Structures are given as structure tokens and as C-alpha cells.
Amino acid sequence: MSKKRLALVGMPNTGKSTLFNRLTGAGAHVGNWPGITVELLSARLLLGDSMVELVDLPGLHNLHGFSEDEKVARHFIETQPVNGLLVVLNANQLDRQLGLVLQLKDIGLPLFLALNMADEAAARGIKVDAARLSEELDMPVHMISAKHGQGIAQLRTELTAWLRQHPAPIAVRSAALEHDDQLEIRLEDLVHNTVHVPRELPETLTDRIDRHLLHPWLGIPLFFLLVLTVFQLVYGIGKPMQDGLAWGLGALKSAWLAPALASLPAWASSFLLDGLYDGIGTVLTFLPIIVVFFLAMAVVEDSGYLTRAAFLVDSLMARMGLDGRAFVLQLMGFGCNVPAMLGTRVMRSRPQRILTMITIPFSLCSARLQVFLFFTSAVFTPAAAPWALFSLYVLSFLIAFLTAFIWRGPAQHAREPMVMEMPPYRLPTLAFLVRQSWRDATHFLRQAGGFIVLGVALVWFLTHFPLDAVPAGPDTLAGIAAHWVEPLFSPLGIESLLSVALLFGFVAKEVVIGSLAVIYGAGPTELSGVLAQRLDWVQAYSFMLFTLIYTPCLSALATLRREGGVGPMLLSMAWSLALAWTASFAFYQIASRW
């Protein structure tokens, strides 16, 4: 069986990633490439008798772009052997996007052109003569709708036949990236001959919705109302699922595991049940809520609303030396801070990029979400819990804005006008939502799994050694560590054992809840009650506030070090720690006196 490589190329917001997922399924992986300092998504798919590696390159507007993403894509095309390029364009915007095809055509690699969103173009009265376009460009052209799967089967068939004509990798020509002064003229002729656009496009549902959602006064309040609605859904749907899973894990422990391990030494049984099982089990109970959250965010993201959110806050971000793209990356940080930091490569200005990377760790990521969901459910009433969580999200934005304003310095003078495509509103398909939420949930477990197991094991050791001491007592290693840091956290209303969990949260925030289960010797069904008895709402909120702000996890710091350097990493650590202590101190000292 022969092996081939195909690079997926296209502008941002053309549905390139959706097509990648359609063609490859869930088998994608991230890897490094020789000479390229960033990771690219790739997957294998079988086309005929060939195993094809499909590499998803970052979006690029043209081969002369200066953003980091465009440099990465261009460098891959210049240096990596491929059998051809699968180019994805938006069929609604061929007058603006065919220029990229003309540039790519000049480099001498075989091209296969997929015109995505063909269903939307037809609904708007846009007609594309694919056969004439194929003849004019001298390359295969195929109309598809990656979202709905239309034309995908035929695309696979045509790709298979096309790759048989290009069995060996081809290198680019030496003059590949020279500027073509005739490109604009060629583009005008090409569009005139192959694309028919009505003289007046009909008003769409997107136009009518944008009149409200992009309103200069109503737009931002509606955005926060949408975020609050997401939290209400997360609690309303996810909480019963969480309670059911916690009950099941507790029943399994008491009915099967405890009797099965009764013959082991007391310390071994405690380590397996009170350490690993309770710690990991407590974390797993939050998986249903996290899946619901990812589902809701996938709807918001795939609908095209995030671009509008960036547009709404662009003028506000300008006062901090940033633009709306930084806000979009802040929203991306809701899932995980690390890929959001990597997303700053779309920015050409290094000062802007550094400043954005410093603000992203204040995004309330899924690991922190797990902590906040637990504390709000345990300490706050069902009616107050969504509002408490919503307030933390609002604070995450305000803290990021404050950080950007204080440290804006060079970024304020390096700001460039923001140019973003406004995609039409789209309802994501159920299949997409299921795949996306499954991918996010499994990614969360893969990324956090090792940290959680190692963390709860280490916490058990610290809370039970020496073995003759009272678990989590003052004579254990954890008790000694808690005594050392007590003067630092006592003014914040954070009791000593909670501070031990925060120390482990520096490694990974996912470890915090698992470590609390081990520290208090409580399983998934008991830990909420333990915390409700030990903490009032002021103490709980002070703990969550500190968790929201204090130093990013090791993965985020490593990314900041690799992408920005040692200086920005140290600044992020020092600033977030100082800000976290100050904010929690102020809140606790004021709120506890009311």
C-alpha cells in the first residue's frame, strides 16, 4: 500500500477544519514537523489503495502574509514534500478568495479545489460554473457542504483518482513565491467568467439577527446574557447527571471495592480507596457537566457568534493596546489556555502577541470550571450557583482587561486595524456537536489524566505520612506544609488544608478537586457536604477567586516560555500571584464584615 501526503490549505472561516474532520473522523493527532516550530494537526485516511496523510495547515489569506500562522503555512508548503494541496474556499466569497488559488498555482504543486458552503451560496442566488472554473484553472473543482456532508463521498472518489495521477511528492519551484503583478487582472477575468452574483443579494436571517446582536448599546449586554444562559443550562442539565454518576461511584465503592480490598493492609486499602478511587472518582463526576458546557460552547462557537463578540469589544480593546482578536482568544481560553495562547500566532505584532498571552491565563478554563462547579454546587443554593459562576466569568474578563491596561506599554503603539470575516449564522449539526463534545471531553481526560492520578497519589502520601499520624493531621507532611503557609492564606479566609490543594493546583488545576477528596477523606458523594459544613459562602468565594487568578498551570507557563520567552513567563507568574492575593484579601476582609 503506497503512502502519500496531502496538505489542506485555505483561508480562515472557510470550513477547512470541518472538512478535515469529515474526511478523517476522530483519528487526528498533533505532531511536529522538521523545520517548523509549531504543532500541526494531521490524520490518515484511506483513499483507494493509498494511505494518505492529511495535514491541516493554519489559515492564510495569501502567500505574502506576515502573521505567524501564515508564515507556518508558507514554510510548510516551501519545505515539506507533498503529493498535492487540497484548497478549500468559501463559495460565497470567490471574488476575494480565488486570488489565493492563483498564487498557489504559480508554485507548481498539484491543486485540488473544494468550494465549500455550496448550499449557502445557492440559497443566496450565487451560481458557480464549476466546470468552467476547472477548465480556466486547469485543476479539479468540486462543490461541497462540509457541514452537512453534501458531496463528500464524491470528493473522496475524485481525490482518489486525482492522487493516482500524482504518485510522488513534488517540490515547489524556486520562483514559487514571487509577486505576480497580473494577479488582480487575472482574478477579475476568472470571477467574471465563472461566478454569477445577483445584483442585489436578498436580506438574510443573519442580517436581521445582527441588527440586534451588533447593536452599539444592546450588543454587549446581550452577550453576557447569552453567557449566563449557558451557565443555567450547564447546571440545569449537567447537575442531575453529576449526582447520578456520584451515586453510582459511591455504590460501587461500598458494595464491591471495599469488601474486595478488605484483606489488604490498612494503608494499602486506604491508598486505593480513599486516595486513588475517591480522588479520581470525584473528578470524573464532573465529566457530564463539562460535556454539557463544551456542547453549549460548541453551539456558540460554530454559530459564528464569537466573531461578532470580537467586533463588539474591538473599540474597548483598542484602549488597552489590543484588538477584538484578543477577546476571541480569551473566549477560546474557556476550553484550555494552552491552545488559546498558540492562537496568538495570528497576530503580526510581537508586543500585542505577548500582551495577549499574558491575559489569556485569566480565562476561566475547563480545569478551573471543574473547581468552581463543585464549590458553587456545595456551598451556594441552586438559584444562586449560576450567578456565582457567572460573576467569576465576568471577573475573568475584567481582570484580563485590567492586566492589559496596566501592561499595555509597547503594544499600544503596535496595534493594527482588525480585519475579520463575518460568517453567516449557522446552526451546527447534531453530529458535529456530538463529535466536538466527545473530542473535547476525551482531550480533557487525556491531558488531565496523568496529572490527576499523580496528584491524588502524592496528596495521599502527604496526608498519611507518617503512617502512624492522624490522616491530614498536623503531624503529617501536608499538615506541616499547611502550617508553613497558614500566615499567607489565613487573611484570605482560606483554611490551611485548602491551601495545600492550591499548591497542587500550580501543577494542574484539575488536581485541586481530587486532592480535596483525599485531604478530607471523602468520596464523590460526601465531599460536598464536608465543604458545606466547613466553609461559608464568603470563604468559598475567596478560595474560588484566588483559584481564578493565581499562577497559570505548568503547561500554560511552558507554552508562554516557548512562545514568548522567560521574561513574559516570569511576569505572568509574579503578577498573577500578587493580584490573586490582593483580590482575595480585599474581598474576604470586606465581605466577612458585612
Task: Specify the pLDDT at position 58.
Answer: 84
Domain ends where: 196, 211, 237?
Answer: 196
Do 373 and 473 sit in the same domain of this protein?
yes
CATH number of the domain that residue 34 is part of: 3.40.50.300
Q: How confident is the model at residue 444 (pLDDT cuts 50, 70, 90)?
A: low
Task: Specify the pLDDT at position 573.
Answer: 92
pLDDT at 320 over 50: yes
Strand extents, DSSP E, 78-174: 84-90, 111-116, 127-128, 141-143
DSSP-H helix ranges across 465-526: 477-489, 496-505, 511-519
Residue 420 lies in a domain: no
Do 129 and 274 sit in the same domain of this protein?
no
pLDDT at 414 over 60: no
Q: How confident is the model at residue 526 (pLDDT cuts 50, 70, 90)?
A: confident
Task: Specify the pLDDT at position 550.
Answer: 92
- Strand 127-128, strand 195-196: pairing: antiparallel
pLDDT above 70: percentage of residues in the chain: 89
Number of domains forming the structure of the chain: 2
Q: Considering only residues 187 and 448, tell me which one the structure prediction assigns the higher pLDDT.
A: 187
Task: Specify the pLDDT at position 208.
Answer: 85
Residue 206 lies in a domain: no
What are the beta bridge partners of residue 5? 53
Residue 202 lies in a domain: no
Closest CA to 515 of 502, 534, 525, 526: 502
Task: Specify the pLDDT at position 89.
Answer: 95
Do 152 and 188 sit in the same domain of this protein?
yes
Do 178 and 264 sit in the same domain of this protein?
no
Cα 297 to Cα 340, 433, 592, distances in angstroms: 15, 10, 35
Burial (0-12, 13-18, 19+ Cβ within 10 Å), 190: buried
Do 403 and 268 sit in the same domain of this protein?
yes
Q: How confident is the model at residue 413 (pLDDT cuts 50, 70, 90)?
A: low
Q: How confident is the model at residue 415 (pLDDT cuts 50, 70, 90)?
A: low
Q: How confident is the model at residue 34 (pLDDT cuts 50, 70, 90)?
A: very low
Name the strand (E) or helix (H) holding 567. helix 566-591
Do 509 and 565 sit in the same domain of this protein?
yes
DSSP-H helix ranges across 55-151: 68-79, 94-105, 118-123, 130-137
d(CA 36, CA 57): 12
Q: Considering only residues 300 and 85, tell me which one the structure prediction assigns the higher pLDDT.
A: 85
DSSP 548-566: HHS---HHHHHHHHHHH-H
Q: What is the mean pLDDT of residues 431-447?
A: 70
Do 55 and 177 sit in the same domain of this protein?
yes
What is the CB neighbour count within 10 angstroms for residue 554?
A: 12
Please provide the average confidence, as pLDDT, over all residues in the chain.
82
Q: Considering only residues 574 and 562, tell me which one the structure prediction assigns the higher pLDDT.
A: 574
Q: What is the mean pLDDT of residues 336-352?
A: 76
Angle at 322 between CA 401 and CA 392, to 5 degrees: 25
pLDDT at 538 over 90: yes
114 contacts 36 by C-beta, under 8 angstroms? no
pLDDT at 31 over 50: no
Residue 422 lies in a domain: no
Residues 6+ apart with CB under 8 A from 576: 361, 362, 549, 550, 551, 552
Do 139 and 225 sit in the same domain of this protein?
no
- Each residue of 234-243: pLDDT tens digit? 777 877 887 7
pLDDT at 36 over 50: no
pLDDT at 218 over 60: yes
Closest CA to 103 of 81, 80, 73: 73
DSSP 410-467: GGGGS--------PPP-PPPHHHHHHHHHHHHHHHHHHHHHHHHHHHHHHHHHHH-ST
Residue 239 lies in a domain: yes
Q: How confident is the model at residue 33 (pLDDT cuts 50, 70, 90)?
A: very low
Q: Which residues span the domain enclosing 352?
A: 220-415+428-591
Residue 203 lies in a domain: no
Do 450 and 307 sit in the same domain of this protein?
yes
Do 81 and 155 sit in the same domain of this protein?
yes
Closest CA to 109 of 162, 176, 180: 176
Angle at 188 between CA 182 and CA 190, to 5 degrees: 100
Give Cα 4 to chain centroid, integer Å: 30
85 contacts 201 by C-beta, under 8 angstroms? no
Please give the grid coordinates belonging to residue 272: 486505593
Q: Which amino acid would we find at residue 136?
A: E
Residue 83 lies in a domain: yes
Q: Considering only residues 562 and 163, tell me which one the structure prediction assigns the higher pLDDT.
A: 163
Residue 433 lies in a domain: yes
Task: Specify the pLDDT at position 28.
Answer: 47
Instruction: Return the residue matching grid coordinates 517548523.
Output: 36
- Each residue of 126-169: pLDDT tens digit? 999 999 999 999 999 999 998 888 999 999 999 999 999 988 88
Q: How confident is the model at residue 374 (pLDDT cuts 50, 70, 90)?
A: confident
What are the beta bridge partners of residue 33? 36
Do 586 and 533 sit in the same domain of this protein?
yes
Do 101 and 166 sit in the same domain of this protein?
yes
Task: Specify the pLDDT at position 2.
Answer: 64
9 contacts 85 by C-beta, under 8 angstroms? yes
Q: What is the mean pLDDT of residues 544-566?
A: 87
